[in-house]
Structure 1
Amino acid sequence: MWSDFFSPKNRVTTDKQLDTPLQLEQLEGRQLLAAMPVLIDIVPGADGSGPGNFEEMNGTVFFAANDGTNGVELWKSDGTSAGTQMVKNINTGPAGANPELSSNPRALQNVNGTLFFGANDGSNGFELWKSDGTSAGTVLVKDINPGSSSSFVNFTENLNGTLFFSALESSVGYELWKSDGTSAGTVLVKDINPGTLYSRPTDITNVGGTLFFGAIQSSPDIGFELWKSDGTSTGTVLIKDINPDVVNSFTSTYSTPKDFTEVNGTVFFTANDGTAGYELWKTDGTSAGTELVKEILPGSAGPRPTDLENMNGTLFFAANDGTNGTELWMSDGTSAGTMLVKDINPTISSYPSSLENVNNTLWFAANDGTNGTELWRSYGTSGGTTLAFDLNMSGSSSPKGMTNINGTLFFAANDGSNGNELWVLTEDPDEPFFVTGSDDGSGRVLVLDGDGADQYFLFPYSQAFTGGVRVATGDINGDGNMQIVTAAGPGGGPRIRVFDLEDGSVSSGALVDFYAYDPAFTGGVFVAVADVNDDGFDDIITGADAGGGPHVRVFSGQDGSMLSEFYAYDVNFSGGVRVAAGDINDDGFAEVITAPGAGGGPHIRVFDGNVSNSFPIMGPATDFYAYDPAFLGGVFVASGDVNNDGFDDIITGADAGGGPHVRGFSSDDGSMLHDFYAYDPSFTGGVRVASFDYNDDGYDDIITAPGPVSGPAVRVFSGMDSSLLTSFFAGDSQIQFGIFVTGGFGTLPDVPFPTSAPFSSFFVSEDSDPPEEVNVESPTAKKSWVDDTEEFYQSAEEIDKLFSGLGI
């Protein structure tokens, strides 16, 4: 580590305070995973290979695809182009005469390291096959319907190491079968619809050792209804005749259950009881425990809910309520808890499809009416449901077949140039991080990993500026990555800057570098980040510090415009205003939360973000005093869902003179959720607060940092019970400036010092317009600049000389 480079003896002094160098030092490498989908182009050109039927086995994804030469055959991929190849050309025609024929593999299922699937080799019809991932190990299991006829193997599922599936055999019809991978061990489980009639077992799903599926029984005539099986003939039974109506002796109405999905031991599915139409149902495997969850679209007509998916114990699906069109919904299994997540396409329907949970993020395809059908993601809230990637800028990429393979998303999509091809998205590692900004006495910002280890630091303004830096984080430019937002403390102009978390470079977007107030104002600025207008871009909220009045402004992350400005308290109050933001009522619009600076009582106010940018004060539960009204030391404020009820709550920290006193208040009723001292109660420097779910338990945690005069001790307290989760010093424990803190989850750098160039830094030259970022990387720089001479360069001119000496 080369932290000595940034010690006072090696800092550059200039005449400018806020318009000079940004410097960044890389301290520790991190594993960096791809943040953008990667195309694997099996068929070059616009035709596409049409990949589908994805299934994981031993860390490899298997699927069906057409390379334009061998027809639709079995393929495999490790997520790279080089590691993507055909497993076997199963159908080559008579004696291999026609390799372009397709075997059309489908219903791929991994059973304890053996891949089962249905395929047609051109001789035996569409039958049961298995593969160990090699060409030689890809073989026919059994010709269930002998000769060139097909058994049409489908709906494969693993139950206790045995494959279960639907298949057609001429003497019994289309029924439930099982296989141990041998011909002799591939047998009928039960002839549910006796004789040659078909029961057509559909959507066979293993939930806790029981198979759930839909099937037809004609005698007695109950139609297509809900069944279950323990894998034996006697244990294969009807659960419930959901739609018992018999139209006449020949025709029944059917409930046609499908899309079975387990959530916390309950099986959700869709069915039609003949009265409510196709709606969301649930079952515990008994007739009495099989019931309608909610009639989303009143009446007997209307489309069926589709694409059921479990994410973190909540069911997500697509449904049409007759008002908003087909949109994204969620359910906790109760009628009251079954609700619209977001109306993605307010004009008609967005038609969410192919929902898939990957690392606690819901991925799906949807059409917002502007970008076509593209890749979306959701964290389960309206504000957290956003367009992820517009892969086809001229139309729709129509992603489909979304499949989670060990934390990597595989899917098929058409980017408009390469046809329908295989795409791979490995999410950012979502590791926790912290960002601290020095208080009065320094101007440094430090980035740390979740363990408190330094990653890099930077000076957003001049290194000579010592008024402190307030910090916030969020996705300002909507690129799916985190940015660091800085605001200058007292003594600097009200300058806001935005940097990419991944490498500390100046970010891109509409809001990168601007003055939140009159540039002549030098009282300092507080900053917060959240999406206040539900447009998918985090916005920047600022509060003027002492001398600026309690002046709050909100700037659009999408286009840089000022969305709103208002005074949180009496315009004549001169103590400044601290700001935070959170979605207090879970409507997708973040509210602005304020607290007064020194001289004002501990008066917390919340301003509603969902009122045409007018930000009126919300109800009594969000307009209150956090401490004794006589306390005038000022309050710091943050927001997070500390009680895991889906609504962001309010967190406060007393400023100087109030002790390091932290409180948490419910946004629902104003009740106190937390009340503790983050440090020694006798400490008088105050406590700064932030919030995010540090330990990923569903409860946002409380992050604290001390004011002056104290070492930079960051602490994390559980949102669930206020217990201490972790504690560390953000930098040198002897520094007594006090710090501001924020944090979240994101991608940290992976740029370790190269052995050939042990010194690496960034410098923004103040002499160019616009400022030019120069990457200094030289094995001689470390030696000449730090170790040997330890010279203190007094001006930009001397630095330019140094650059010249390095051949830059």
Structure 2
Amino acid sequence: MKKIYTTLLLVIGLYANAQLTIVKDVAAAGITPTSDKQVFWQNNKWNNKFYFNIGTTAKLGVTDGTDAGTFLVKDLGVAGVSTLISKIIPAQDFFYIQVDAIDSYSPYTLHNELWRSDGTAAGTFLLKKFDPTISYPINLGSDISEYCNNSILGNEMFFAGFTTANGYELWKSDGTVSGTVMVKDMTAGAGNTPMDGFTRLGSNVYFFTGSGQLWRTNGTDAGTVNIPLPAGLTVYVYNTMVAYNGKLIFIGYDATNGMEPWISDGTTAGTHIIANTSPRTDYYYVLKDLMFKEVPGGVLFQQLMTSGSNKNTLWKTDGTSSGTVQLSNLDVIDEQSGVDFGMTQQSIYVYNQSQKTFFKSNYQPGGSSVISQNLAYNQFKNFYNFKNTLWFSSGIAAFGSDAFEPWRCDGFQTVKTFDINPGVGPSTPFGYFEINNDLYFFANNGGGVKLYKFNGDFTFNNSVNNNWSNGSNWNAGTTPLLTEDATIPSGFNINVDGNAFANNLNVSSPLNLTTGNLNFRGNLSLNAPVTLNANNVNLKGENAAILNGNAINYLTTNGAGTVNVENLNPTRGQVNLPIGTATNYNPITIENTGTSDTFSVNVQDGISNTTGGAVNATWNISEAIAGDSNVNVSFTWNQTQENGLFNRNTAAVGHYYNATWNSESSSIVTGTNPYTISATNISSFSPFGVLNQSALGNTSFTTAEISIYPNPSNGNFAIQVPDSFIGSRAVIYNLLGQSIKEFSIDEVNQNTNLEKGVYLLQIQKGNQVSTKKIIIK
């Protein structure tokens, strides 16, 4: 697999328009980052720059995405001591730095240092050196593994720190040496008070202790108090909590409910269980990496649903019982294996290393699926969301033809994007970050680690040929995915030679679908025609739309090609489909007020199985799942398509089934070349056409049975029908086809509300329709 990308890499290195470029040779400059965990790179940004550890000692590096802006800021290490920058916590006017220093290996002792920096050497200095111990002397994170602190307000930060005299206790800092102080010695003397989960809510910061208690502090000794929990409740200490909608959400344990999500307003009375989501009642380890990430409509958490299993099910809660929903019935998150995850606005992606399963959820119940399983690759890691496309590093860790390289995923496809180190060596990309809408990462091209830049310009350039599938024909150096916007400039003639994807697609050159389908999730803007042949155009997004279609630029559905609208439902409303044949433009609008479904549409010249008056066009409409649809559709045609017997005044929408053309409930013809007619409440699908009533299986009744008098009138007229017509439906239209009034026929209907003009009265009796003209002087 790896060798097929070698040509692509050469193009990237040689062509000026390729968008993967080397910003800086950091290996040659001696500033290679050692911070390769992606969670570090998602929390180390301050003042639009990213800060990191250089090499094997505590050296502070910075990058702003440029060569000159990527350099060593300051060496924070001490000669003879093994040091490393482990955390960078941004505040308002500077950022905090945690330095880990190993004083001795035998016996093992470690001390931590708290620094602050404004990104300059002079503005980078030590705030506090904490005393050595056998465990980490400070904890700046808001849970065990995160690289963030949720207590920060302005420059103030709360954390846990260790001194020999007081043990492990609550500290705070305002970024000054004098303002870096212990808040409270909660366990008197040298005793320790393990704590975590520092979370700000209003003017207070909340945290929990190793004994499962919930505490609150305002930054003073007296204002640091324990909040008594409901009887039997223990806060789960090996996790985090989150402030959401003005309250705290955390995992709590009691013997009745087991491990469940709880919510608190900071008082005992305001602390209660949100929902009982698992039948288990035992105390068990909860996976922490995914816990309480904020997503649309709530925060995520995981649950073990069965005893004896390590697999978690994904849930979401907004803090209410009704808003706590299970997102997955697939227990694919194995807490005993390595788990990597990434999040976009639309989905969360989880890779389970032991099962080699790649899973996603769109944050909605029933919206989960396994993208891939039984993968040959032993890791997906370093997930990063760039413009709603998931980038990550994947491959087999050992050297080989599938060594680690950059990959990306749109939720439907998972593709290797570049082969930076061609042959059998890995490039091992890491440290994905974004500045000014450009993606950056570090990777080894075989000549040392470089800083790379990718701006994602998916503009077609035709540099090699006119094939969509050739990545070298795109400024990005690779073809777009369903989450990526693409542009086809004018002056080309594009051959879609395989399945093609884009989010928003702007087309200014003709597209010819020869061997693949065109899929898009956003808007398809037509400034040139698209020819389907035997292929399909798929509207895959919930609001996907086709814009700017007209009699010149439309979708030509020649052959068996179709336009497929996924998720057509009442919320979506009307969808305009600018379709036609090689010679005629016959667009439709379609709306489904019934159950959501996928609808397929095309049009062909001519109409079969009739010798009467008709439009020489047949629209084919089908649904993926039969039943429960209620569709309204409008058809448009040109006067040149009408045969000699066709009469627009007696036209209706015909639906071919049971070997005959049957009449649908339809409006009068509107427009002035082109013309349009609409049909409503369609629940079954097959070919549709526009025919005279006389050409339909359901014939019209004679207008002689209906009397309108006087006609013309001054607006005061009566409608008289035989007794058998009492209760029939009547609609009055103006000449623009707009419904003016709808009513049921009585023995005599009178109307005095019409303004001067010409109107059409349409009366329907069962499947029979008749139309009469009304003139108001």
TM-score by length of 1: 0.48
TM-score when normalising by structure 2: 0.49
Report which of the two structures shows the higher radius of gyration computed on alpha carbons. Answer: 2
Greater length-normalized contact order (CA 8 Å, ≥ 6 residues apart): 1
